[in-house]
A and B are shown apart, each in its own frame.
Chain A
Amino acid sequence: MKREGKVYTIIFTFIISFVFVFVLAVANELTKDTVERNQELFQIKAILSAMDISYQSDEEAFQKYNSIVSTVNINGSQLYTAEVNGQKIYATIFTGSGLWGTITGVLAVNEDVSRIVGIDFISQNETPGLGGRIEEDWFKRQFSGLKIIDGEIRVVTGQGSGDYDYENGQVDAITGATRTSESIERIVNETIANLKDILGGE
């Protein structure tokens, strides 16, 4: 068969695509369970850290999640709940659009939705090193215990090193990531409003 002929070209393209895609499919199938477990573990860890429950290892995270956290169904919405230091905490998984893609995370609040307990992110596609820094500890720590004023929080221009005054309802934005910071403000406030609806806060 001629190498430059039409028939050979078509057969060759078909075979090479088939072989490579087949190998990929196999590789994907082999790692599927690990990837799924990683994702599940990641969600569990995010819920735990938003609720301010500490854990040392993956095993402990699983264990604590199973023993402390329970899921409840209030007014048709699924929430995660736990009792930490005698306080009832509710957490919900939120999604919203960031600058480049969807930001998914966990927001935990106290029973009457007057304070945020914590926040953590499950997935985001913001610019690494800029908007992607929402996943860094200093940024997330600003939310733990933050008072919600008039049903919202504000992300403001600050020193860029973190606003740890938890009474003013404000957090510092990330320098150079204005749009991502704005998105976070919007998403968090939407989530707070949503939680208030569900939990019937004042």
Chain B
Amino acid sequence: MAQKSWIEIAKDNLWYNNPVFIQILGICSTLAVTNTLINTSIMTLGVVFVTGLSAMTVSLLKSFIPRKVRMIAQTLIISFYVIIVDIVLRAYVPEVSRALGPYVGLIITNCIIMGRTEAFAQSNPPLLSLWDGLTTGIGYMYVLLMVAFVRELLGFGTVFGFQVLPDNFVNWTIMVMPPSAFFMLAIFIWIIKGYMFRKEVKK
């Protein structure tokens, strides 16, 4: 397999092979945390950090890991970084840690991270894996932030907790609840896929 260049990796992860709207991974967290922008940004920053570093660590250790236990080793590495994130949040930004509650711990179950360590980091050098992990995380982040933006705006009338819509605006409570994330994500995928197909047809 020819190695991809840094720019190609970034383009792939951010757009052509985006983890959320092309690979449809990490949907559980998309449904769960996207009702406020603050929670979403902290959660996705955590994911960026964890995907980047765990991909790099797996890549560094790949020549020592026996194939039989590679999944266990990957899970161990991923949970290691997740717990680090949790400890740092608890010690230095307790308010945020409380607002997120169990979601930080649930980063472990994010399939994107496992997917990247298994599909990319196992067969690529450390720095490239770090880059791949980071860009995948960012690809995940911006999609979630967009979904969260619409949901928070219509659900609470706020953006990052600041009131932007007039007071007489009736909040769409459905937007705060998980089902709306399904709608938002589907509409989002529809628009982006439609755009991609149209581009392909033109070629």
Bound-state Cα–Cα, A132 to B36, Å:
12
**A176–B77 touching, CB < 8 Å:** no
Stretch of B17-25, B44-52, B95-103, B185-193 on the interface side: B95-103
Report the minimal beta-carbon distance from B190 to chain A, rounded to whole angstroms. 25
Q: In the bound complex, how far is the Cα of B94 from the Cα of A135, in angstroms?
A: 14
Q: Do A12 and B83 contact each other (CB < 8 Å), given the known contacts A20-B76, A132-B101, A176-B177?
A: no
Min CB distance, B125 to chain A, in Å?
Answer: 19
CB distance from A152 to the nearest CB of B (A): 27
- The interface residues of chain B lying within 8 Å CB-to-CB of A129 are 35-36, 39, 155, 176
- B68:A35 contact, CB within 8 angstroms: no
Question: In the complex, what distance in Å separates the CA atom of A34 from the CA atom of B67?
Answer: 40
In the complex, B91 has a CB within 8 A of chain A: yes
B92 at the interface (CB under 8 A from A): yes
Q: Are A12 and B92 in contact (CB under 8 A)?
A: no
Q: Are A12 and B66 in contact (CB under 8 A)?
A: yes
Q: When chains A and B are docked, how far (Å) is the Cα of A126 from the Cα of B120?
A: 36
Verify A128–B99 contact, CB threshold 8 A. yes
Is chain B's binding surface mostly helix, strand, loop or mixed?
A: helix
The interface centre, meaning the residue of B64, B68, B84, B103 with most chain A CB atoms within 10 A of its CB, is B68
- Assembly CA distance A58 to B28 (angstroms): 37
Interface status of B33 (Cβ within 8 A of chain A) = yes
**Contact status B177-A38, CB under 8 Å:** no
Chain B residues, Cβ within 8 Å of A135? 98
> Which residues of B lie under 8 Å from residue A42 when comparing CB positions?
94
A-B residue pairs, 7 tightest by C-beta? A129-B35, A31-B91, A38-B94, A34-B91, A20-B80, A9-B66, A175-B173
